[in-house]
Amino acid sequence: MPGLKRRRRLHGFSVNRLIPNAITLMALCSGLSAIRAALESNWKLAVIGIVVAMILDGLDGPVARLMKGTSEFGAQLDSLADFVNFGVVPSLVIYLWAMDGTGGLAWAVSLFFAVCCGMRLARFNTSLLDENPPPWASKFFTGIPAPCGAGLVLIPVVLSFELGDDILRSSVLNGVMLVAVGALFVSTIPTYSSKRIRIPRRYVGLVLLGFAVCIMLLYSTPWVFLSVAGVGYLVSIILAQFSYQATRKKMLAQESKEPEGSNTPNGAMSSEKE
């Protein structure tokens, strides 16, 4: 019966899953709209579209977990949106802004960035299938995350809004940025992961105050704030190398001190440390 089938479909409908997926789709629409803005040479709007996609990308996962609406469909949709928003869209924006009409090599460089982003996301997705990751894996990413890579290649564009584009619009400079960040996507260097950060209760007020200050700076001086944030992330990549080595050495030392009869798997240790 058609009516019975329809009622069954509605019975399986979950608003808890709809809302996180709707946020992901909003992020995808924002990223795709950045392409239209770039085609119209509206570079500020193009950057805003990608930044909005970053913000929404940071919200869909926590909202899904908060509402207990996580699903395999949502995970796959989020990965697809990340590839488009932070791989395809930034490479097209940079190409149209600085490298259009400079030959086939410029297009190859843009493709390189997008492909590296896709490979990075595929590697991340397969790493989730590892049942016994090393105990320090929860504290670090392998390579830079897709949204951070998109932000890094946009630094010249953002800076040009304040400093002018005489030098920053160089096809060579932006080509080097695309290649360098693409290489960081597929590299094995450790970078900080914010997913396991726990804020002590006594610092919650201070963190909220800092967040409010960031919002005010983003509103009042958006291009300066975004540029400083990008440079700050570059510094964090360097610091993460030292932190990773120290964390790895500490956890390996703890692992070696365990009784020989202990069969605690790495995965269990990881959950305890998290």
Domain presence at residue 239: yes
3, part of any domain: no
Q: Per mean pLDDT, which of 77-91, 118-132, 195-209, 253-267 is the most reliable?
A: 77-91
* Separation of alpha carbons 116 and 87, rounded Å: 8
Structural domain includes residue 6: no
Higher model confidence: residue 2 or residue 171? 171
DSSP-derived secondary structure for 102-163:
S-HHHHHHHHHHHHHHHHHHHHHHHHTT-SS--TTGGGEEES--HHHHHHHHTHHHHHHHHH
Question: Looking at residue 121, what is its pLDDT?
Answer: 93
Domain count, the chain: 1
Owning domain of residue 105: 86-254
| 13: in domain | no
For 187, the 3-state DSSP assignment is coil
CA atoms 59, 222, 96, 113: torsion sign: negative
- For the segment 142-198, what is each residue's pLDDT rounded down to a tens digit? 889 999 999 999 999 999 998 887 889 999 999 999 999 999 999 988 888 877 667
Does residue 234 fall inside a structural domain? yes
- What is the pLDDT of the chain when averaged over all its residues? 83
Write the DSSP assignment of 9-25 as a string of letters: HHHT--HHHHHHHHHHH
State the Cα–Cα distance between residues 49 and 36, nearest whole angstrom: 10
Query: Which is more confidently placed, 207 or 255?
Result: 207
Asked whether residue 55 is domain-assigned, the answer is no
What is the value of pTM for the model shown?
A: 0.82
What's the burial of 219, exposed, middle or buried (CB within 10 Å: 0-12/13-18/19+)? exposed
Q: Give the single-character DSSP code of 257.
A: T
Task: Give whole-number Cα distances, 222 to 14, 226, 259, in Å.
Answer: 37, 6, 54
- Within a domain: residue 196? yes
pLDDT digits (tens, 9 = 90+) for 60-77: 888 888 888 788 888 899
In a domain, 52, yes or no: no
What is the model's pLDDT at position 269?
36
Question: Alpha helix locations (H) across the chain?
Answer: 2-11, 15-39, 43-66, 72-83, 89-94, 104-127, 146-153, 155-163, 171-186, 204-220, 222-256, 266-273
How far is Cα 141 from Cα 132, in angstroms, rounded to an integer?
16
CB neighbour list of residue 139: distance below 8 Å, 6 or more residues apart? 192, 193, 196, 247
Q: Mean of the pLDDT values across residues 97-118?
A: 91
